[in-house]
Amino acid sequence: MRKKSILITGAPGSGKTTIANALFRSEKIVHNSEDFRLIGTDTIREIIKSAVDPLLIPELQGSSIDFCDENDMTDLSGFLKQAEILAPGIEGAINRNKEEGRTLVLEGIHCLPNYLSSLADVEYFVVTVPKSQQVSRLQSQHRSPEKIKRKMQNMERYLHYQEYLIRLAEKYDNVHVIQEQNVSAAVDFILSKIL
């Protein structure tokens, strides 16, 4: 198996975490699990957030949507700013795993190819889903009525982010769009690109 970094991104509720976990547990990977690492960009965000004074990088002190204009559902600045801030941490994780001879599976909304300096040995996957499936997932991810309400209030923004990711994918040869309806099929597609 080629040692690569596999970056899986998508809008909230697209299934990127589910696919990353299924890929990591795939029987084609499990027997080599010591050579694989799985990490989410939220973990990288928390590490950077804990190491930096909140006044220096206030954009990391909340959710991406906290830093978007609440009256403009097309405003994606919170997502993009966090992705830009996290890019060095993402690149660090990629480089570290490359040095150790491991394959990295990294998932999260912050994986944007336009913020990374090099895409060599990286395979990108943008996960997209129909709105109805995205709504259902967002509702089932949270038990808190307040969180569900907030997610639903930002649904239009998430759809704009998904469209942004699809347009971005069209600019790169190694960024593949997965229209995820079936986790198993999505994992098979990723494996076909990395094995």
Return the CATH number at 52.
3.40.50.300
**pLDDT > 60? residue 15:** yes
Do the beta carbons of residue 125 and residue 178 sit within 8 Å?
yes
- Copy the structure tokens of residue 49: 């957030």
Give burial (CB, 10 Å; 0-12/13-18/19+) of 91: middle
Do the beta carbons of residue 138 and residue 12 sit within 8 Å?
yes
Mean pLDDT of 110-117: 88
Q: Within a domain: residue 54?
A: yes
Q: Which residue has the tokens 């150790």?
A: 100
Q: Within a domain: residue 28?
A: yes
Cα–Cα distances in angstroms (integers) from residue 101 to residues 4, 98, 105, in the given order? 9, 5, 13
**pLDDT > 60? residue 80:** yes
Mean pLDDT of 44-59: 93
Q: Within a domain: residue 156?
A: yes
Give the helix/strand (H/E) hosting 26.
Answer: none
- Copy the structure tokens of residue 195: 């094995």
Q: Within a domain: residue 49?
A: yes
pLDDT of residue 141: 83
Q: Within a domain: residue 194?
A: no
Instruction: Tell me the residue range of the domain where 26 lies.
Output: 5-189
Q: Within a domain: residue 183?
A: yes
- Copy the structure tokens of residue 170: 């069209």
Q: Within a domain: residue 195?
A: no
Mean pLDDT of 90-103: 90
- Comparing 141 with 3, the larger pLDDT belongs to 141
- Comparing 117 with 140, the larger pLDDT belongs to 140
Cα–Cα distances in angstroms (integers) from residue 142 to residues 13, 90, 107, 148, 149, in the given order? 11, 26, 19, 6, 10
Query: How sure is the predictor about 23, in pLDDT bands with cuts at 50, 70 and 90?
Result: very high
pLDDT of residue 30: 58
The C-alpha atoms of residue 184 and residue 121 are separated, in whole angstroms, by 24
Mean pLDDT of 64-69: 92
The C-alpha atoms of residue 49 and residue 56 are separated, in whole angstroms, by 10
The total number of structural domains that make up the chain: 1
pLDDT of residue 3: 61
Q: Within a domain: residue 180?
A: yes
Give the end-to-end CA distance of the chain in Å, rounded to a whole number: 5
pLDDT of residue 127: 96
